[in-house]
Amino acid sequence: MALLGEWVHYKDDNFGAFLDVIGAPEENKKLASSIHPTVVFIKNDDDTYTMQVKGPKETMESTFELDKEFSHMAGVGSLSGRRRRAIAKKLGEGKFEIRGLSADTAIDRVIETREVVDGDMVVTIEADGITAKRYFKRP
């Protein structure tokens, strides 16, 4: 998968509005807007994937198998301060989606799509009619 390896954040589009709609705590909004996390995708020997999101204070990690429910914290979950039930699906070479499995809250309804576009990883995140994009490049 083209997404494997390390990616460093460098810009956002409409990220503040997205943080508002998912109800991110104020301190998380300030931190998320000021840092450039590193994301690492690893394919494990047992056909699972691990996604690590490394920030200045901590690393959050989710390990999952495609098309199976898992507890997701890395990425969007870390912004809300809680885990969510999710499923990951491969949408093509270099593109996959993580979708929440509940409709209880905005964070549960988030759809995260990651794909490689012109050599960058573009993360499109959607919830309740708000779409944001986060852009990452290879270090």
Instruction: Convert the pLDDT of each residue in 21-43 to its tens digit.
Output: 888 888 878 888 888 999 999 99
Question: Quick one: what percent of the chain has pLDDT higher than 90?
Answer: 58
Question: Please, what are the domains in the chain?
Answer: 5-137 (2.40.128.20)
> What integer is the mean pLDDT of 63-91?
81
Please say if the pLDDT value at position 54 is more than 80. Answer: yes
pLDDT of 90 strictly over 80 = yes
**How many other C-beta atoms are found inside a 10 Å radius of the C-beta of residue 18?**
25
pTM: 0.89
Neighbouring residues of 57: CB distance < 8 A, sequence distance ≥ 6: none
